[in-house]
Amino acid sequence: SHGPLEGVRDYEVVRPIRLHALQKRETESSRPETIKYAMRVGGKDIEMHLEKNRELLTKDYSETYYTEDGTPVTSTPQDMDHCYYHGSIVDDSESTVSMSTCNGLRQAALHFYYGYFRTATQRYLIEPLSGGDDGDHAVLKYEDQNSKPMLCGVTNTTWNVDYPSTASRSRSRASYKKMESNLGKLRTRIFEVVNFVNMVYKPLNTFIALVGLEVWSDSDKISVTAPAGATLDAFTTWRNSDLAKTKPHDNAHLISGIDFEGSTVGLAFIGTLCSGHSVGVVQDHNARAIAVGATLAHEMGHNLGMNHDDSSACTCSGNSCVMAGALSWDIPKSFSSCSSVNYDQFLNNRNPECLLNKPDYRNVVSTPVCGNGFLEKGEACDCGSLEECTNPCCNATSCTLTKGSECAAGECCEDCKIMASSTECRSKHDDCDLAEYCTGKSADCPEDVFSVNGISCDRGRGYCLNGQCPQHHGQCMKITYCYDQNTRGLYYAYCRRPSQDQYIPCQSQDVQCGKLFCNNGNDDPNYGRMVKFSDCKATFYGDHNSDFGQVDTGTKCNDGKVCSKNECVDLETAYGPKATNCSAQCKGHAVKGVIGIAVAVSLLLLAAIAGASAVFLKKRRQLPTLPSHHTQKKIHAVDNHIHNKLPIPSQNNAMPQQPKRPKVAPPPPPPAANQSQTPVCDFRAAR
């Protein structure tokens, strides 16, 4: 490993001066919530205002490692008073700071990690030359660091990439060995990576917090190989079969010490957040934690629907943007205008359900800080710093309501007063929705509720189910298939698939509740391999446990009937004669709130260190860049997965038994042993 000063000829020696003493409630052993430092850099005096990154850890943060015999050991550290800070430089609106005071004023105590700050004109790294945060520090300009350009290996337009068989053994424990098999060192590095990612996402009103760390200390849990696509496939399978059962999360990333093929340092699915393919892999390619953090932020961006910045029209505040296809020495810290558009489109079009949870301030570990713009326990309001606050209802200094004010924010707050109970705060936007009204007692609009299941919707085309009106047409538009022929029991036309190679045909009355088929259109499926005959398109999906090409439960299949467990049944059979699936809280017309309120959203991001750790993160997105609830579509989140364009088969041919097939026959499904080598997904992107 190498420190930031190795090979550097010129650096400036500075001595940071702490500008305020400990408060009475603070002790020498605790880390203060806010710190101010002054120093002279490049002939200019600067003053840093730092605030502890309270989104770094959550209340249920845990760590898991494995003993030599493979037994997992999970614990919750008691003292997690960390030393990681974000901030800015006074009188420099373009400045950002990501620091640690773990051992001096830098990003960590170890030579693997570095403090980072940026002024309007220059980027810097900082590292202590002596112990303590008030000793001498080395400050060097970031361009003094020479790095090999690294890539996101699959471009936005890359469709089919085959990965050959490989006999090389897994090297995923490299990250753990790099940290000298020391959990403390590994934890510190991960905290540094996440601290930087958190800083990058803040301008998008998205906050990231660590909820767990899994250390693969005994052996690899998957086969980690140089082809990044094969590693991504293996990690996806492990994440869904193992990790999802032990730690609730919505997104997973693998950080590995292996050297991926070529210049690739990351790979991820695009637009798959909240799905079974909400994953990515990242190479631990640089001693600088912020460089790895930039790659993680990039791959997370793909999961959030962002493409590479491949146009000169994609601009950001820095010399390079987070979603640039290549990562060089100029580590990005801001998203481009194109990325922001992609993100908003993903939220509006996909409506990822795991993001529609109102954040709970009780889940974040740390003491509330007045002035950070986030409402926390004990605060009546928080409008930001004194300089930022424009809310006349909130006292920015104390985070209390101003005199005479009843509220400071909320759908039911107007002119600092709580609105009357008859005021509509969220309108009804479809047949399966209900309007919400202010209570007269709270500034928040009540929980979003919807009509009882089984009510006719969309002019008789469907029946309401949990606030949606599922129909075949809508599903075809969503995943671009059409449906037919489910009585045949073939690999692309069936009702149920209890095992990998078993395809149970539909009864004639249930054909609209099996495999989903669509007709016409030029789009390719979002997951699976496409099978096309006549004007119809279907999909074959390799894993029978994750077959997303089936008709959704609750879809209307006949008058008074809906799909349930791949059968077309009466509404009473599906929902009960008195809509028994409705909550006991339902009154009158029976409604239940399930869809989250679009005031803020929550996301659990899980990241893993191959051979080292699995890291769990929580992402929280606030209101400003989200649409209001009544403009959001209540649609199912769409998984994007592997697919390959296939020859047009004959409509009457059964699935051939031999690998060699007639030109007009449907292709056979891949053997189970070879499924890890399936062509890479259209919707993957790599750095």
| Active-site residue flag, 414 | no
Cross-sheet strand order for the sheet of 529-533:
518-519, 536-540, 529-533
What is the maximum alpha-carbon separation in the chain? 82
Residue 620 CA to residue 584 CA, distance in Å, equals 30
Question: Which residues have CB under 8 Å from 124's CB, separation 6+?
Answer: 41, 116, 117, 118, 139, 140, 141, 142
Gyration radius of the chain's alpha carbons? 27
**C-alpha to C-alpha distances, 669 to 153, 205, 229, 502, 658, nearest whole angstrom:** 27, 44, 20, 12, 11
Half-sphere exposure of 120 (CA within 13 A, CB side): 7
Closest CA to 153 of 265, 55, 51, 53: 265
Q: What is the DSSP string of 390-409?
A: --TTEETTTTEEPTT-S-SS
Residue 341: CB atoms within 10 Å: 14
Which residue type occupies 329? W
CB 454 within 8 A of CB 582: no
Which of the residues 214, 299, 379, 567 is marked catalytic? 299
Residue 555, both tokens: 């879809």
Residue 109 CA to residue 83 CA, distance in Å, equals 10
Cβ density class 215-253: b for 16+ within 10 Å, e for less: bbbbebbbbbbbbbbbbbbbbbbbbbeebeeebebbbbb
The residues assigned a catalytic role are 299
